Amino acid sequence: MNEKTIEVFKNAPVPKAVMSNVIPSIISMLMVLVYNLADTFFIGQTKDAYMVASVSVATPAFLLFMAVGMLFGIGGTSLISRKLGEGDYKKAKQASSFCFWTGASIGMVAAVMMLLFATNIARVVGASEQTIGYASEYLRIVAVCIPFLIVSNAFSNIIRAEGSPKVAMSGMILGNMVNIVLDPIMILGFKWYVAGAAIATVFGNFCSAGFYIYHILKKSDLLSIKLKDYAPGNGIASGIFAIGIPASLNSILISTSNILINNMMAGYSDMAVAGLGVAMKVNMLVVMLLIGLGTGIQPLLGYCYGAKNRERYIAVLKFSTILAFSLSMVMTCICFFGAKFLVTAFLDNPNAFDYGFRFSRILIYSGPIMGIMFVFINAIQSLGAAFPALILNVSRQGLVYIPLLFVIKNLFDSPFALAATQPTADYIAATLAIILFIYSYKKYFGHE
């Protein structure tokens, strides 16, 4: 492990150690946000709300495959950072190779399935007769990039574990910038519309994955994608899946809950679906920034735990919690008071705009506690606490959110009441995250 990485992880002042890992991670997440907003923005310039709705409907299906990348990214980061803290560099390389080859193989199988069943999948995720043509076209095209999407999402996290957050950030920025530059050309210039957005997504993910592969092959001493290092045994696969599966379950449940709420909203109108899709994009201004903060500190916390440096672990956690709460409050104010301007950028239809504006303000109610929630989720994962991580990730978008959807639907039968389900679930999840962290910390660090 190089001296610079040791210095930052082990000896640098806590604010410097946190910020040097968090800032690149936040920038990466904000670039993901810009990419997501760009797709919706340029599709919105067609003035066709059905096209906007179709992309919103297709997104949950796409997120299911991002969840596979999350499995290997979060699970791999947790295991690799702990092994580096212990000084077990061989196992770190084996874990890296396992994440690459297993993730890419799953991606190839998923790509074939998506190509064959795109129309059926589009219908399942909530496409109506007016949007199913656009949605299935989008899914067929993005199917080509699923293996690259999984590799890109996995290694944008794993590379942070070796102490290279700027490299992780650069790969994310490269892929998203390619996508953003191609969006107006392909959507509006070539008039490919929804297909153009999908093609831009394919090229973006290809470039991002290629960048990470080049880095690991040519510049990394700590990670590997060589087949000779592929080793699922000796606790590697189980160590990755123990943390990765709960993390990916959260993404899968987000997709599932989005599919459910899209289907429920479609019962009111396609404009409600379009409005909700845009409101979720606006809410992502807060969510993605704070996810970036949480994932940024996980390798640092994992290293401290691996090195059994309890005092530094707590110092990093305290600083990160204060930082997260401060950012949460600032971003909540921006999104609440700027909702009208933000929604106007995507929706022209007055009915769809009204839904989008009101949904945006409802979703942001959970903004103040969002940062604290993501800090403690990542703190639990940094300890390798598999069961608490599983409980938390299954609860937020599953055991809490999905039952609430049906309860609120039956009690109020209102699209705005349905939108309020997410902030309600977030407050419950934040409370649960703090409780589970206290339990995990006591169990894994023990009493001194």
Q: Locate tokens 């980061």: which residue?
A: 77
Domain spans, the chain: 11-445
Q: Would you say 79 and 94 are in contact if contact means Cβ atoms under 8 Å apart?
A: no
What is the rounded distance in angstroms from the CA atom of residue 75 to the CA atom of residue 241? 6
> Which pLDDT value is given to residue 136?
92
Q: Would you say 433 and 393 are in contact if contact means Cβ atoms under 8 Å apart?
A: no
**Interval 279-306 mean pLDDT:** 87
Residue 5 pLDDT exceeds 70:
no
Counting residues of the chain whose pLDDT is more than 70, the rounded percentage is 98
Of 325, 328, 304, residue with least CA distance to 316: 304
Region of 228 (left: φ > 0; alpha: ψ -120 to 50; beta: rest) is: alpha
> Which pLDDT value is given to residue 6?
60
Residue 93 pLDDT exceeds 50:
yes
**Per the structure block, which two tokens stand in for 195?**
């297909």
**Interval 61-88 mean pLDDT:** 86
Q: Would you say 280 and 360 are in contact if contact means Cβ atoms under 8 Å apart?
A: no
Residue 277 pLDDT exceeds 50:
yes
Instruction: Give the number of residues written for the chain.
Output: 448
**Interval 392-403 mean pLDDT:** 84
Instruction: Select, from the ranges 98-107, 165-174, 305-314, the one with the highest average predicted confidence (pLDDT).
Output: 98-107
Surface-to-core class of residue 318, CB atoms within 10 Å of its CB (0-12 exposed, 13-18 middle, 19+ buried): exposed
Q: Would you say 145 and 206 are in contact if contact means Cβ atoms under 8 Å apart?
A: yes
- pLDDT tens column, 355-365: 999 999 999 99
Mean pLDDT of the chain: 87
> Which pLDDT value is given to residue 446?
66
Confidence band of 175 (pLDDT split at 50, 70, 90): very high
What is the rounded distance in angstroms from the CA atom of residue 367 to the CA atom of residue 76? 29
Q: Kindly report whether the global pTM for this prediction surpasses the value 0.85.
A: no
**Interval 364-372 mean pLDDT:** 92
Q: Would you say 42 and 188 are in contact if contact means Cβ atoms under 8 Å apart?
A: yes
**Interval 57-63 mean pLDDT:** 76
Confidence band of 10 (pLDDT split at 50, 70, 90): confident
Collect all residues with Cβ–Cβ distance below 8 Å to 50 and sequence separation of at least 6: 130, 131, 134, 270, 274
For the ranges 68-82, 83-97, 337-351, 428-442, the lowest mean pLDDT is seen at 337-351
The three-class DSSP label of residue 348 is coil
The single-letter DSSP state of residue 188 is I
**Interval 89-106 mean pLDDT:** 94
Of 360, 366, 340, residue with least CA distance to 278: 360
**Interval 206-216 mean pLDDT:** 96
What is the rounded distance in angstroms from the CA atom of residue 340 to the CA atom of residue 242? 42
> Which pLDDT value is given to residue 333?
92
Of 207, 203, 248, residue with least CA distance to 76: 248
Residue 13 pLDDT exceeds 80:
yes
**Per the structure block, which two tokens stand in for 224?**
């590997």
> Which pLDDT value is given to residue 3?
52
State which amino acid sits at residue 39: D
Q: Would you say 392 and 440 are in contact if contact means Cβ atoms under 8 Å apart?
A: no
> Which pLDDT value is given to residue 448?
46
> Which pLDDT value is given to residue 1?
44
What is the rounded distance in angstroms from the CA atom of residue 357 to the CA atom of residue 345? 11
Which has more pLDDT, 307 or 107? 107
Instruction: Select, from the ranges 62-76, 177-191, 383-397, the one with the highest average predicted confidence (pLDDT).
Output: 177-191
**Per the structure block, which two tokens stand in for 271?**
């404009």
**Per the structure block, which two tokens stand in for 198?**
């999908």
What is the rounded distance in angstroms from the CA atom of residue 299 to the CA atom of residue 311? 16
What is the rounded distance in angstroms from the CA atom of residue 154 to the CA atom of residue 99? 8
Of 222, 209, 82, residue with least CA distance to 146: 209
First-to-last CA distance in the chain? 29
- pLDDT tens column, 239-269: 999 888 887 887 788 778 888 888 888 888 8
Instruction: Select, from the ranges 92-106, 148-162, 293-307, the one with the highest average predicted confidence (pLDDT).
Output: 92-106
